[in-house]
Amino acid sequence: DAKTTQPNSMESNEEEPVHLPCNHSTISGTDYIHWYRQLPSQGPEYVIHGLTSNVNNRMASLAIAEDRKSSTLILHRATLRDAAVYYCILTYNNAGNMLTFGGGTRLMVKP
Amino acid sequence: NAGVTQTPKFQVLKTGQSMTLQCAQDMNHNSMYWYRQDPGMGLRLIYYSASEGTTDKGEVPNGYNVSRLNKREFSLRLESAAPSQTSVYFCASTVLQFSSYEQYFGPGTRLTVT
């Protein structure tokens, strides 16, 4: 299984952009890049996903390197509510579509 | 539309006791999952059900059994609880979106085995 590598923690100031990196150098051509986040004492929630092209939604943007060996989740204006653990996950289009969670990046947002 | 619901929210068991964790989704999803999360760790998959009538083992299935009761409900049973099963348990379900799968998670069940 392809693995992802993320920094353990990052800090940001409120209302500033945040760039959360993820390395996935062994990604295969059919692997999707998913991002989930987990707020304190809650279940994970879906943030965004992509395959090759950059993606935007109401929560965030996903920038995918041309060789797909890395990606960056971009929060355009961090709020205190964005303080969470962010997980970068590769998924496969198999029957199970299981998610394999690593340690993630704990994002701390300072007021 | 409640999404994914789990009961109970909290449970304390003694070693050797049994219990069933309940999960239900009202989004007409085909696939459902059970994960556990130990303190400071990421989630690990226990069992999953790709569709009604099928179940498969995940990464850490030992000590657990599951039942996909119908399309809506997926239960997790601990036959003889052990302290090592102290964890937070999350249920999830998936919908097909843009040729990939977005999983929706429940709020979790916090289980302590003494």
How close B106 comes to chain A (CA, Å)?
A: 6
DSSP string across B7-75: E-SEEEE-TT--EEEEEEESS--SEEEEEEE-TTS-EEEEEEESSTT--EE-S--TTEEEEE-SSSBEE
Q: Do A49 and B100 touch (CB under 8 A)?
A: yes
- Model pLDDT for residues B41-80, shown as the tens digit of each residue: 889 999 999 888 899 999 999 999 999 989 999 999 999 9
- The chain-wide mean pLDDT, for chain B, equals 92
Residue A15 is given by DSSP the state T
Give the helix/strand (H/E) hosting A2: none
Name every chain A residue with its beta carbon within 8 A of the beta carbon of B48. Answer: 96, 98
- Model pLDDT for residues B89-114, shown as the tens digit of each residue: 999 998 765 556 788 999 999 999 99
How close A16 comes to chain B (CA, Å)?
A: 27
Q: Are B26 and B3 in contact (CB under 8 A)?
A: yes
Q: Do A96 and B48 touch (CB under 8 A)?
A: yes
Beta bridge partners of B36: B44, B89
What span, in angstroms and rounded, lies between the C-alpha atoms of B83 and A99?
A: 25
End-to-end Cα distance, chain A: 39
- Model pLDDT for residues A11-69, shown as the tens digit of each residue: 999 999 999 999 999 998 888 899 999 999 999 999 999 989 999 999 999 999 999 99
Please enumerate in sequence order all residues whose Cβ is within 8 A of that of B96, keeping only pairs 6 or more positions apart, or say none.
Answer: none
Name every chain A residue with its beta carbon within 8 A of the beta carbon of B33. Answer: 98-99
Q: What is the spatial order of strands in the sheet that B64-68 belongs to?
A: B4-7, B19-25, B74-78, B64-68
Residue A96: pLDDT band with limits 50, 70, 90: low
Q: Do B31 and A97 touch (CB under 8 A)?
A: yes
Q: Do B50 and A101 touch (CB under 8 A)?
A: no
